[in-house]
Amino acid sequence: MRPITGIYLLRSKLVYTLLAVVWVIIVGWQLAEHKRVRHTAEAALRNRSKDITSILGLVVRSQRFRGGPLFQERLESALKELVHSGEVNSIALLNAQSDVIVSAGEPITNEIKRVMQASPPEVWQAKRLLVGNPVDLGASVTPREGETNAPTIVLPPREERDRARTNNPSMASSETNRPPPPPREEGNRRPGERGDRGPRFGRPPWMSEAEYQGLLQQRGLHGLVFAMSTEPFLQATDQDWRLRAMVIAFATAAGFAMGLAWRNVAATNELEMRLLPRAK
């Protein structure tokens, strides 16, 4: 091998190595930026899920009257309106055993257990994000002294309530024979007592303590699971990835072009150096 050929070969290796290093840096930079954009879009979707959770809490609390129970018909109507608005695809309100009490939208019963057992309670799917919130909804009503802050109870539909009264004669007799509340003078009432705000919901007189606790377990709100579309997340990440792919493709084409250009320049210079002694 001639010395001139060895010099050009060494220079070619250095140039090709430099081009490869620059290409790897550009590709790594674009992948890191795409990962950052993806994390940002995920965080934005999670923050939106927190806003939706707050909205659902407000919806539940707005349906309560003086700390009383909720009626399933009214709550279902409010949840359906929220689903129709496009904010979420599905909503399911759960009891202590993660069983569905009230739902609206597409059914997500099969995914509830998996969502509530996850940490954090969320499951990413192809086109939707399932988010769980294992908290007592509507239990932010401040209890009075000596009272416990029980979870919000969702009463079953009117047909089920009427059927329960028909099948339980003691319920009707208890309501009929309930003694009237004792009269009370207005001047002796202190601010903040029940007379100012009305009675709070507690154990009905026709229920035993065991039956009331069973009602709390079956119809008490202890959490929710809702599904929201990942379309904004997919659009943001796909658009960013297309831009990154274009940059990588341009860098790849530029690297090949520069490599071919250097090869032609090196071959031309080597040929000139070979022909120079003959010309002399």
Distance, CA of 279 to CA of 273 (rounded, Å): 10
pLDDT in tens, 92-146: 998 888 888 888 998 888 889 899 888 889 999 988 999 998 765 654 444 444 4
pLDDT at 158 over 80: no
Helix ranges (DSSP H) in 118-223: 158-167, 169-176, 194-197, 209-219
Q: Of 152 and 227, which is predicted with more confidence? A: 227
Which pLDDT score is estimated for 236? 93
Lookup result for tokens 């609206």: 104
Q: What is the rounded average pLDDT for all residues in the chain?
A: 78
pLDDT at 1 over 80: no
Distance, CA of 97 to CA of 113 (rounded, Å): 10
Percent of the chain exceeding pLDDT 70 equals 69
Give the torsion through C-alpha atoms of 231, 232, 237, 239, to 10 deg: 100
- pLDDT tier at 278, thresholds 50, 70, 90: low
Give the torsion through C-alpha atoms of 236, 30, 252, 261, to 10 deg: 130
Residue 201, C-beta contacts closer than 8 angstroms, at least 6 positions apart: 66, 67, 68, 69, 153
Q: Domain 13-138+222-274, CATH 1.10.3470 — does that match? A: no
pLDDT at 38 over 90: yes
Q: Are 181 and 193 in contact (CB under 8 A)?
A: no
Domain chopping of the chain, boundaries: 13-138+222-274
Which pLDDT score is estimated for 160? 66
pLDDT in tens, 26-37: 999 999 999 999
Q: Which two tokens stand for residue 59?
A: 């919806």
Give me the mean pLDDT over the 229-240 stretch.
Answer: 93
Tally: H helices and E strands in the chain: 8, 7
- pLDDT tier at 193, thresholds 50, 70, 90: very low
Q: Of 141 and 231, which is predicted with more confidence? A: 231
Percent of the chain exceeding pLDDT 90 equals 28
